[in-house]
Amino acid sequence: MKTYDCIIVGAGILGLATAYHIKMKAPNDTILIVDKFEGPGFGDTSKSAAAFREFFYSRANILLARSTIDFYWDLQKNQGIDLGIKWIGYLFLMSHSEFESLVPILKKMSREGIEYKTYLPEDLEDVGFRTHVLKDEEARLMNLKNIDVGLFIPRAGILKIENIVKFYETELKQLDVDIMYRTEVKGFILEPTKPIGIPEEPFPWQEIKVSGIRTNRGTFRAKRKIVVAVGAWCESLLNPIGIGVPIRPKKRQIFVLRAENKSLLKLLRSPKFNKEEILPVTILPRGIYIRPEPSENAFWVGYADKLGRAYTLEEDPQPEEEFYIYGIYPVLTKYIPQFIDIRPINAWAGHYDINVVDGVPIVHEEANLIVVGGTSGSGIMKADALGRIVAATYIGEEYAELYGGIKIRAKDLSLSERRIEPEKLVI
Amino acid sequence: MKTYDCIIVGAGILGLATAYHIKMKAPNDTILIVDKFEGPGFGDTSKSAAAFREFFYSRANILLARSTIDFYWDLQKNQGIDLGIKWIGYLFLMSHSEFESLVPILKKMSREGIEYKTYLPEDLEDVGFRTHVLKDEEARLMNLKNIDVGLFIPRAGILKIENIVKFYETELKQLDVDIMYRTEVKGFILEPTKPIGIPEEPFPWQEIKVSGIRTNRGTFRAKRKIVVAVGAWCESLLNPIGIGVPIRPKKRQIFVLRAENKSLLKLLRSPKFNKEEILPVTILPRGIYIRPEPSENAFWVGYADKLGRAYTLEEDPQPEEEFYIYGIYPVLTKYIPQFIDIRPINAWAGHYDINVVDGVPIVHEEANLIVVGGTSGSGIMKADALGRIVAATYIGEEYAELYGGIKIRAKDLSLSERRIEPEKLVI
């Protein structure tokens, strides 16, 4: 049985960033990362919409996203590591009444340094959106609303997940971190903190810690701590040992629509919003989002359906064509008629690992095990900061220093001493 | 398809109390309660240790428990309804260091009006506890600690669950509430809040509400709201429609030990603590509790094992003899050697419905559905107050008036606007 100082379960973006920052904090500690998939980020990391924003309500989420994005941007801008970051912004299209209800939230966010500007319906019509949908009887029947305001967030954009994964993985190899793929955790080893020395241990009345993992490729022991960074698999891994975290998996789908005609190309290459001359990541009134992929002349389109979409884990989630046809297309084509008759040329599905209570990530230590997750669909844009918070927790520091120098109390993200504002802007 | 104003899923103590208080608030509303079992409280309600206390850390928990117990006590004392309430108190046995770490908590609780007194080891030895266990080499090896302090809580005791269930059920019959047993919910009916009028509804982009239940005995529609009061079954019922609450089931067991000999009878009938001349509900240092059942000359003994005990739902949970032998007996007999060689004459198992985040019950409304649960092993002693909070939520009142007149903001127990102190004293 091989022993490491630290075992990390999960080589998704959170596991990789965590290993990197533990190595920064404790360079002599040996680390093993195990992952059931064939390579790094092959789980839900690779299914992401690959967009980022620091536009959150919760101060914790703002700090996590801002410092992570700043870190990524420094790599790209100053270290010559192309992460595919394009600052194209986010554009939320909404009615007057939706905007009105957002105003107090925007005021609070302004105080946290979040900038925004607004566009008028005329501007949006120029770009290619249909704002006065209520002229259309069907749209009225569908209970849709006119677009009265375009809320633009400049500090946001798109990036290339695989490049970020590659960055961390390359660093980890140089730092002598062992990564074992195709290695599935079947269970944890529980041991008494003060053993008696008989084989039946641990007994229920003993104080117990988690001290290792059993996998299809053998048993491994962690001298110091175990980190569980498995996203949607959190419950299925931790329920059996009785560690409870309010993280649930929910299927999420992305459909790729090619900008097949001139009017869609015009929309995609809109020069109005940013220097990249690309349409921002756009969120339509009912929550459908459109994420440009300029390198493919395409849009990635998705929708985070809530009620009616089960919390359930699928080992190989598949996109549902019906979901595009009945769940997305009818609304999409009301606001952007250029998409009429356009069918997806590609699609995929993954999971959000949703924190069902407050929508802010969790970094929680219990019995020598640190669980990090509950990123609720915004894990990649917070991964580096979360890695630093796990590393601080790992070495027992009260505060984690995020990129840029801001400090955050590590236990603010725990369950036992949680101190965060609930998030109101889960997309 | 029959229609009611209100459908309540679950005829356990929470469902019954809820129906009662909705009827008090909205006497003309028709109510249907459905339950998969054969009678009222036949699920985990009947598996309870049937003890009560208002000794909680969280102010919300104190209010819920205190007002519920006061309500029950008024019924017994002034209305001639025997609920089997005996004010025998709780007795926590602990080491100096455990007591020291409890002091700030006790101070805070004192401010909430929680009374307590302490006993010295001599007093406890008189009653029949062995306090200096560290004389025993095995106890040292087991890492046990001496009992240095007995912390006694007078406002606590035992009651008869079946009598409380009977009270609510009798009332409900007089109030014309329909109760259907052997009726299992197979799913919920989801409808758009603003229907278009075509059979494929609801579509993912529509605003959706829960409007009915499908059961093995037909489909029922709720005109107003649906209440889910299913305890440990919460996740399995709500996950499929994508409503997420941080409530998880965990198996809990009770073993019945008869006071077979004089020394155990002396312990059971200890006159030291209360007018009933019964041993208080006693909690040993590692968390094993002993709940006297004087009518049977017996003790009910249990232990809420945490790490290592899976969060999982069993349709018919069974007590494990091994759990008594290896999990309870070794510690129990160190502190109370009178139990040596005593084997359980009876045992049963149920579930706690644990709020894995903060240990305070949840009353949360979403899409016309109110979920009440997460009582974490103390649901019966909070049931009446929770019923009142659900009733306030049902009729849309901001504040619920608990028995005794104290008001509590109903949404303080919700997930979206939760405002409670986390509980530190889950037993």
Q: B237 and B365, same structural domain?
A: yes
- The minimum CA-CA distance between B323 and chain A, rounded to whole Å, is 8
- The minimum CA-CA distance between A136 and chain B, rounded to whole Å, is 15
CA B345 from chain centre, in angstroms, equals 24
pLDDT over threshold 90, residue A425: no
The token pair that represents A28 in the structure block: 């002599």
User: CB-based contact (8 Å) between A330 and chain B?
Assistant: yes
User: Of B355, B371, B403, at which residue does a domain stop?
Assistant: B355
Around Cβ B46, how many Cβ atoms within 10 Å?
18
Nearest to A242 among B240, B309, B367 (CB): B309
B-interface mutation test, from A58, A357, A412, A423, most B Cβ less than 10 A away: A357
Where helices occur in B308-416 by DSSP H, the ranges are 321-322, 329-335, 383-395
- The minimum CA-CA distance between A406 and chain B, rounded to whole Å, is 27
Where helices occur in B246-382 by DSSP H, the ranges are 262-268, 321-322, 329-335
Rounded to whole angstroms, the Cα distance separating B353 from B237 reads 13
Q: A239 and A178, same structural domain?
A: yes
Rounded to whole angstroms, the Cα distance separating B286 from B306 reads 12
* Interface subset of A 288-327, CB within 8 angstroms of B: 288, 303, 305-312, 323, 326-327
* Strands (DSSP E) found in B81-170: 90-94, 117-119, 149-153, 156-158
Nearest to A308 among B196, B208, B331 (CB): B208
pLDDT over threshold 90, residue B306: yes
Confidence of residue A104 (pLDDT cuts 50, 70, 90): very high
The token pair that represents B352 in the structure block: 């706690």
Handedness of CA A171, A173, A178, A184 (dihedral sign): positive
Rounded to whole angstroms, the Cα distance separating B216 from B186 reads 7
Contacts for B136 with CB less than 8 Å, ≥ 6 apart: B334
Segment B76-87, tens digit of pLDDT: 999 999 999 999
User: Of A312, A332, A352, at which residue does a domain stop?
Assistant: A352
> Stretch A297-315: mean pLDDT, rounded?
96
User: CB-based contact (8 Å) between B328 and chain A?
Assistant: yes
Q: Is residue A175 part of a domain?
A: yes
Rounded to whole angstroms, the Cα distance separating B56 from A123 reads 58
- By C-alpha distance, the chain B residue nearest A354 is B244
Q: What percent of chain B clears pLDDT 90, i.e. is strictly above it?
A: 98
Q: A238 and A134, same structural domain?
A: no
Nearest to A87 by CA among A51, A127, A123: A51
Dihedrals phi, psi of B317, to nearest 5 degrees: -65, 140
User: CB-based contact (8 Å) between B200 and chain A?
Assistant: yes
- The minimum CA-CA distance between A211 and chain B, rounded to whole Å, is 12
Q: Is residue B61 part of a domain?
A: no
- By C-alpha distance, the chain A residue nearest B140 is A196
pLDDT over threshold 90, residue B314: yes
Rounded to whole angstroms, the Cα distance separating A133 from B292 reads 70
Q: A347 and A254, same structural domain?
A: yes
Q: B216 and B176, same structural domain?
A: yes
Which of chain A's residues have a Cβ under 8 Å away from the Cβ of B326?
200, 203-204
Nearest to A290 by CA among A127, A140, A148, A113: A127
Q: Specify whether the backbone of B297 is left (phi greater than 0), alpha (psi in -120 to 50) or beta.
A: left
What pLDDT score was predicted for residue B150? 98
Q: A254 and A344, same structural domain?
A: yes
Residue A110, classified by CB atoms within 10 Å of its CB into exposed (0-12), middle (13-18) or buried (19+), is exposed
Q: How many CB pairs under 8 A join A and B?
A: 134
Segment B90-125, tens digit of pLDDT: 999 999 999 999 999 999 999 999 999 999 999 999
Bridge partners of B227? B8, B370
CATH number of the domain bearing residue A53: 3.50.50.60
Terminal CA-CA length for chain B: 44
Rounded to whole angstroms, the Cα distance separating B300 from B290 reads 6
* Interface subset of A 402-421, CB within 8 angstroms of B: 415-416, 418
Residue A358 CA: distances (Å) to CA of A132, A178, A385, B246, B415? 35, 34, 18, 11, 8
Segment A202-223, tens digit of pLDDT: 999 999 999 999 999 999 999 9
> Stretch A373-389: mean pLDDT, rounded?
97
Segment A222-272, tens digit of pLDDT: 999 999 999 999 999 999 999 999 999 999 999 999 999 999 999 999 999
The token pair that represents B125 in the structure block: 């030895």
pLDDT over threshold 90, residue A396: yes
The token pair that represents B320 in the structure block: 């494990």
User: CB-based contact (8 Å) between B422 and chain A?
Assistant: yes
Q: Is residue A23 part of a domain?
A: yes
Q: B254 and B315, same structural domain?
A: yes
Contact B366 A241 (CB under 8 A): no
* Interface subset of A 244-273, CB within 8 angstroms of B: 244-246, 248, 250
H helix or E strand, kind and range, residue A20 = helix A13-25
Dihedrals phi, psi of A231, to nearest 5 degrees: 55, -120
Q: B347 and B266, same structural domain?
A: yes
User: CB-based contact (8 Å) between B143 and chain A?
Assistant: yes
Handedness of CA B54, B59, B64, B68 (dihedral sign): positive
pLDDT over threshold 90, residue B293: yes
Rounded to whole angstroms, the Cα distance separating A49 from B29 reads 47
Dihedrals phi, psi of A174, to nearest 5 degrees: -65, -25
- The minimum CA-CA distance between B219 and chain A, rounded to whole Å, is 18
User: CB-based contact (8 Å) between A73 and chain B?
Assistant: no
pLDDT over threshold 90, residue A1: no
What pLDDT score was predicted for residue B426? 80
The token pair that represents B74 in the structure block: 């008024």
- By C-alpha distance, the chain B residue nearest A423 is B416
Nearest to B48 by CA among B151, B154, B163, B185: B163
Q: Is residue B269 part of a domain?
A: yes
- The minimum CA-CA distance between B206 and chain A, rounded to whole Å, is 8
- C-alpha neighbours within 13 Å on the C-beta side of residue A43: 31
pLDDT over threshold 90, residue B378: yes
Nearest to A356 among B194, B244, B367 (CB): B244
Dihedrals phi, psi of A326, to nearest 5 degrees: -100, -25
Handedness of CA A95, A96, A101, A104 (dihedral sign): positive
Nearest to B244 among A286, A305, A354 (CB): A354
B39: helix, strand or coil: coil
Per DSSP, the residues of B112-130 read: TT---EEE-HHHHHHHT--
Contact A240 B312 (CB under 8 A): yes
- Asked whether the beta carbons of B423 and B55 are under 8 A apart, the reply is no
Overall number of domains in chain B: 2
CATH number of the domain bearing residue A326: 3.30.9.10
Contact A327 B204 (CB under 8 A): yes
Around Cβ B128, how many Cβ atoms within 10 Å?
18
Q: Is residue B426 part of a domain?
A: no
Q: Is residue A224 part of a domain?
A: yes
Q: Is residue B72 part of a domain?
A: no
User: Of B330, B355, B380, at which residue does a domain stop?
Assistant: B355
Residue A120 CA: distances (Å) to CA of A93, A96, A406? 10, 11, 36
Around Cβ B249, how many Cβ atoms within 10 Å?
24
Residue A106 CA: distances (Å) to CA of A70, A87, A288, A361? 22, 20, 21, 22
- C-alpha neighbours within 13 Å on the C-beta side of residue B96: 1
DSSP state of A289: E
pLDDT over threshold 90, residue A167: yes
pLDDT over threshold 90, residue B392: yes
pLDDT over threshold 90, residue B427: no
Contact B312 A286 (CB under 8 A): no
Q: B335 and B268, same structural domain?
A: yes
Around Cβ A131, how many Cβ atoms within 10 Å?
20
Contact A240 B366 (CB under 8 A): no
What pLDDT score was predicted for residue B233? 97
Largest CA distance in chain B: 78
Contact A242 B367 (CB under 8 A): no
A-interface mutation test, from B307, B356, B421, most A Cβ less than 10 A away: B307
- The type of residue at A327 is G
Terminal CA-CA length for chain A: 44
Q: B101 and B238, same structural domain?
A: no
Nearest to A190 among B194, B308, B330 (CB): B308
The token pair that represents A126 in the structure block: 């120029």
Contact B204 A312 (CB under 8 A): no
Residue A69, classified by CB atoms within 10 Å of its CB into exposed (0-12), middle (13-18) or buried (19+), is buried
Largest CA distance in chain A: 78
Residue found by looking up tokens 């990249």 in the block: A276
The token pair that represents B61 in the structure block: 């928990």
User: CB-based contact (8 Å) between A240 and chain B?
Assistant: yes
pLDDT over threshold 90, residue B318: yes
> Stretch A289-305: mean pLDDT, rounded?
97
Q: B368 and B224, same structural domain?
A: yes
Confidence of residue B1 (pLDDT cuts 50, 70, 90): confident
- Find the domain containing B337 and state its range: 90-153+249-355
Kindly report the three-state secondary structure assignment for every residue of A230-261.
CHHHHHHHHHHHCCCCCEEEEEEEEEEEECCC
User: b or e along A52-61 (b: 16 or more beta carbons within 10 Å of the residue's beta carbon)?
Assistant: bbbbbbbbbb
Segment A328-361, tens digit of pLDDT: 999 999 999 999 999 999 999 999 999 999 999 9
Around Cβ A156, how many Cβ atoms within 10 Å?
23
Mean pLDDT, chain B, integer? 97
Nearest to A357 among B142, B200, B246 (CB): B246
- Asked whether the beta carbons of A365 and A341 are under 8 A apart, the reply is no
Residue found by looking up tokens 């349409």 in the block: A279
B-interface mutation test, from A307, A364, A369, A371, most B Cβ less than 10 A away: A307
Q: Is residue B13 part of a domain?
A: yes
- By C-alpha distance, the chain B residue nearest A243 is B307
Contacts for B270 with CB less than 8 Å, ≥ 6 apart: B127, B128, B277, B278, B279
- By C-alpha distance, the chain B residue nearest A356 is B244
Contact A356 B246 (CB under 8 A): yes
Which of chain A's residues have a Cβ under 8 Å away from the Cβ of B245?
356
- The type of residue at A325 is I
What pLDDT score was predicted for residue A364? 98
Contacts for A326 with CB less than 8 Å, ≥ 6 apart: B200, B203, B204
Rounded to whole angstroms, the Cα distance separating B238 from B247 reads 11
Q: B385 and B350, same structural domain?
A: no
Contact A310 B240 (CB under 8 A): yes
- C-alpha neighbours within 13 Å on the C-beta side of residue B203: 24
- The minimum CA-CA distance between A129 and chain B, rounded to whole Å, is 19
What is the interface pTM, i.e. ipTM, of the complex? 0.95
